[in-house]
Amino acid sequence: MGEGNSDSRGDVAGGKSGNGDDRTKATKKSHDEDEGDRSTGSTGQGSAQTTSQVGNSSGSAGNGSAQTASQVGNSSGSAGNGSAQTASQVGNSSGSAGNGSAQTASQVGNSSGSAGKGSAQT
């Protein structure tokens, strides 16, 4: 038992292993993983304005999300005020709820469970 303690102290003094080295490596890995995870689930006010979304957009929530944009593909669970205004949605839109969802837009495909004020006007 005594030899184990003397060896571990010697390693720390020599700089071969220590808590400081392990902490810096752990923080670098966590930052890299956070950057990858932040790309999914875009939330916020005015997100994706005047842009075109091509593909599956799952869980996109926020005020004014995807304004004046064309969504091509499946958009599941898109909720928010003024979502997809003056835009054309081509594909399946399941569970899209919110005030003024898909106003002045053409929906081509199956729209299941679309609830909200002024949904699919004109």
d(CA 103, CA 57): 19
Mean pLDDT by 10 residues, the chain (122 residues): 54 53 49 44 52 55 52 55 53 55 54 53 50
Residues 100 and 117: beta-carbon distance below 8 Å: yes
Give residue 18's pLDDT: 52
In the chain, where the domains are located? 46-115
Give residue 77's pLDDT: 54
d(CA 101, CA 119): 5
Global confidence as pTM: 0.18
d(CA 88, CA 43): 21
